[in-house]
Amino acid sequence: MLKELVEKKRYSFHKGFDDWRDAVRAACQPLIDDGAIKPVYPDEIIKKVEELGPYIVIAPNLCIPHAQEGVGVNETAMCFMKTEEPVHFDPDDPDKDARVFVVLASTDNNIHLQNLALLVETMSDEEKFAKILEANTPEELVKIEE
């Protein structure tokens, strides 16, 4: 999964963000640049989180920005981002901090489900996840899966 994302240039590394909204936008940027999603997609994600709370932070340090299928999405895709400093989604809850972001966009549910399965497999592996948290370059990301 990581290797494929690096090959497709669907990744970014950042120092940190004061506002989680900027983190979500930055995480989506490579997909906007290559046309997989429209700029409205991150806005949709942000709107949902403002309405419902930080449900996109699915595990400590892991955020999966995503919104409704099809809205502002041209292609089923994933995109990786890592920040050096934690991004806070809830100032009162450190469990909602995240440093690893994987944007999910879907138009095709079958491919999307395969992507999700890959994501779950990769991120559920504690050893791998620890290495992902340490990675600061695309080369280091690729190495994790070798």
The residues annotated with a catalytic role in the active site are 66
Helix/strand/coil for 17: coil
Question: What is the distance between the alpha carbons of residues 143 and 60, in angstroms, rounded to a whole number?
Answer: 23
Q: Does 124 bind another protein (CB under 8 A)?
A: yes
d(CA 10, CA 79): 5
Question: How many residues line the site for another protein (CB under 8 A)?
Answer: 31
Provide the pairing of β-strand 61-63 with 97-105.
Answer: parallel
Asked if 120 interacts with another protein (CB under 8 A), we say yes
67 DSSP β-pair partners:
none
Q: Which is nearer to another protein, 28 or 104 (CB)?
A: 104
Annotate each residue in 23-52 with x if it binds another protein (CB under 8 A) or - if it does not, as one string.
-------------------------xx-xx
Instruction: Indicate whether 128 belongs to the interface with another protein (CB under 8 A).
Output: no
CB atoms within 10 A of CB 15: 7
Q: Is 119 in the site for another protein (CB under 8 A)?
A: yes
Instruction: Determine contact, residues 78/119, Cβ cutoff 8 Å.
Output: yes
- Closer residue to another protein in complex, CB, 66/138: 66
- Closer to another protein by CB, 17 or 129: give it: 129
> Which residue, among 7, 26, 6, 31, has the nearest Cα to 15 in the 3D structure?
26
**Residues making contact with another protein (CB under 8 A):** 48-49, 51-60, 62, 64, 66-69, 90, 95-96, 104, 106, 112-113, 116-117, 119-120, 123-124
